[in-house]
Amino acid sequence: MRAAELLYGTAPGRLLLRGLTRPWFSRLGERVMDSRLSALAVPGFIRRHDIDMSGCEKTRFSSFNDFFTRALVPEARPIDPDPAALISPCDGLLSLWPVTAEGRFPVKGVEYTLAELLRDPALAEQFRGGMVWLFRLCPEDYHRYVWPADGDPGPTVSIPGVFHTVQPLEKGQRPVYRENTRQYRTLKTAFCTAVMMEVGALLVGRIVDLPAEGPVKRGQEKGYFAFGGSTVIFITQRGAVVPDSLYPPGGTETPIRQGQRVGRILRN
């Protein structure tokens, strides 16, 4: 039986989840990954995932998270020079999902409608007919992310990850619904109102956003993920951006690098 099946599908597993989802567990994980001892795991991780370290600002790290949140030299992730290009905010696997009232899309193993993801039905309605640009980062990816367009950001909205145990079903089964920790900011651009969201892991992981009180520029660093897995989501309104043919809507994942063009902006 897989670990997920043990955690979600058995009574002992659900009891264990109650402890794992406590704040102290996340804090413990952060301390371990920030410790000097954790740096011993870095060389093996680099070899196992065949990570190219040539573009890093440094090659010696004080902890695993110091390595995981490593910065690259600007030349390693050039920004597409076309001002009409929407760029990828990060490295990862890009999939596109059209926004409909009941349409669902997967985020780190959990399916959401846009209203559920944002926990704001009124805001979600503004994006009916628009597009969800979902960037799934893998362990070997660069874990810093940038703003994909110029604009004025709104305040940060934080949504903590939770487990919901619902009523028992037949044969004593008790399904568990889970939500990922996530945060987002609206972005007022010249071509539409957009939303940029970062999603962390449910049990471990940390989203570190850099302060941005005024207008931001395309390619400006927005933040980074500490160890624990991560996803970046950019949401655009109907008729604002046309995806390039390399990225067809419907869930197909395509490798992408930070700064590369993913679509053409229609309204300026």
Catalytic position from the list 38, 63, 95, 230 = 230
Cβ burial of 232 (10 Å; 0-12, 13-18, 19+) is buried
Q: What is residue 168's three-state secondary structure?
A: coil
Please report, as a single letter, which amino acid is at residue 174: R
Q: Please calculate the CA angle 199-205-211 and round it to the nearest 5 degrees.
A: 65
73 to 76, 92, 249, 267: CA distances (angstroms)? 6, 18, 32, 32
Catalytic position from the list 26, 88, 91, 141 = 91
Rounded to whole angstroms, the Cα distance separating 60 from 232 reads 27
Known catalytic residue at 91: yes
Pick the closest to residue 142 from 263, 82, 54 (CA basis).
Answer: 54
184 to 5, 60, 98, 254: CA distances (angstroms)? 30, 32, 19, 23
Pick the closest to residue 141 from 43, 259, 257 (CA basis).
Answer: 257
Q: Which residues pair with 125 in a beta bridge?
A: none
Which active-site residues does the annotation give? 91, 230
